[in-house]
Amino acid sequence: MNSLVIMGVAGSGKSVVARAAAVALKKELVEGDDYHSAASRAKMRAGVALTDEDRDEWLATLGRVLARQTEFGGAVLTCSALRRNYRDRLRQAAPELLFVWLRIDEQVALARVTRRAAEHLFPPALVASQFAALEPPTGEPDVLAVNATDPLDSVLDRILSHLKEKQ
């Protein structure tokens, strides 16, 4: 494993898990939301779901960032990676990529997004659209599924144990 993508819908805890994983693995943390275009950020703030076209350049940029990070030992990236073709684009950019899918119930995700609404660009009104767009990565061999509501230490232990098994 060179790089790791922490994926899931809004409110699943991608940033928290990725930060902990990056520290434990001594890898660069790449916050995927930081790479959205100004137009995409404005759409999200307005409660408008992004389309595949909106995400196209974002995914291309994340792929370039992952490819560049591969030269420096890899990274831990937060990215919703909702659709299979999004994940495939990232796989093409970075060899030996592993995904961690933070599975969460829609009501729990909505509650989490609502609690952080004042300080995050993603509004609660868009949570349902994330679940509608999600193509679960069930059966994809490079995806570890974990329960997003488990304690952070447990989630991190599962990730680190899985990585050890992959070596």
Pairs from 46-52 (Cβ < 8 Å, separation ≥ 24): 47/123, 47/125, 47/126, 48/126, 49/126, 49/129, 49/130, 49/133, 52/83
Mean pLDDT throughout 31-44? 93
Domain count, the chain: 1
CATH number of the domain at 130, please.
Answer: 3.40.50.300
What is the pLDDT, as a whole number, of residue 153? 98
List pLDDT tens digits, range 94-122: 988 999 999 999 999 999 999 987 776 77
Q: Band of the pLDDT at 62, cuts 50, 70, 90?
A: very high
pLDDT computed for residue 70 by the predictor = 81
Q: Give the domain range for residue 152.
A: 4-166
pLDDT of residue 52: 93
